[in-house]
Amino acid sequence: MTMIGDDLQQVNNRIAKACVTAGRDPSEVRLLAVSKTFGPEAVREAHAAGQSAFGENYVQEGLDKIEALADLRSSLEWHCIGPLQSNKTRPVAEHFDWVHSIDRLKIAERLSAQRPAHLPPLDVCLQVNVDGGANKSGVPPEEALALARAVAALPQLRLRGLMAIPEPAAGFEAQRDLCLRAHAVYQSIRDAGIALDTLSLGMSADLEAAISAGSTMVRVGTAIFGGRTYAKPA
């Protein structure tokens, strides 16, 4: 097995162990492999090891990989997980399967209008800012239900759930407390009668805490692909 395949197996083992510890069925938690800054061949390697869902933060980088891996398109699921600007919604609506980062109605309306009719509805999550960071994307928790109702009513979109990126915290309990805030918002929207099934929460450093708090999808990059090297701006 390749190095990426080995690392992928280790992450899946972590997820399974965390589920057992939390008294949950491992089938309740999906792994989203975050492939940003890694090339198409890394995705191909992970796919050969059994991974099908991949997350991209940068629209153009994601589009380039989707094109480079066109031969695998029917067996890959592409998730846009980074902040999304209005001028980037069309290619996302046309080429991605999921969007995790909707934090205002305008973006959702554009995705809905631009999703090609021959494709299934675009699966979307609302990004919620659970710890109030002023510079972070995400709808405030108290505004999430109203946004969820509006997005759920749009054609060509299917509202699946919430995504959150809590601030880094030291230790399991502190991590879990932040993750529980996201789960509380998720549960409150479900209690209001909106059928959500996805809580996109947890990354390489805190996936155990996120699973303990009810996450159904963990977004893991570094633990699968290794450390990232970002190009310096010109």
- For the chain, the structural domain boundaries read 3-225
pTM: 0.95
The residues with which 203 forms a beta bridge, in sequence order, are none
Residue 225 has pLDDT above 50, yes or no: yes
Q: 34: buried, middle or exposed (CB in 10 Å: 19+, 13-18, 0-12)?
A: buried
In this prediction, residue 228 carries a pLDDT of 73
In this prediction, residue 183 carries a pLDDT of 98
Residues in the chain: 234
What tens digit of pLDDT does each residue of 125-145 get? 999 999 877 667 899 999 999
In this prediction, residue 233 carries a pLDDT of 47
CA dihedral of 38, 41, 47, 48, whole degrees rounded to 10: -140
What tens digit of pLDDT does each residue of 88-117 get? 999 999 999 999 999 999 999 999 999 999
The CATH number that domain 3-225 falls under is 3.20.20.10
Token output for 97: 């399967």
CB atoms within 10 A of CB 1: 11
Confidence of residue 229 (pLDDT cuts 50, 70, 90): low
Helix (H, G, I), strand (E, B) or coil at 75: helix
Torsional sign, CA 175, 177, 180, 185: negative
CA distance 215 to 221: 17
Mean pLDDT of 157-182: 96
In this prediction, residue 231 carries a pLDDT of 58
- Residue-by-residue DSSP string for 4-57: HHHHHHHHHHHHHHHHHHTT--GGG-EEEEE-TTS-HHHHHHHHHTT--EEEES
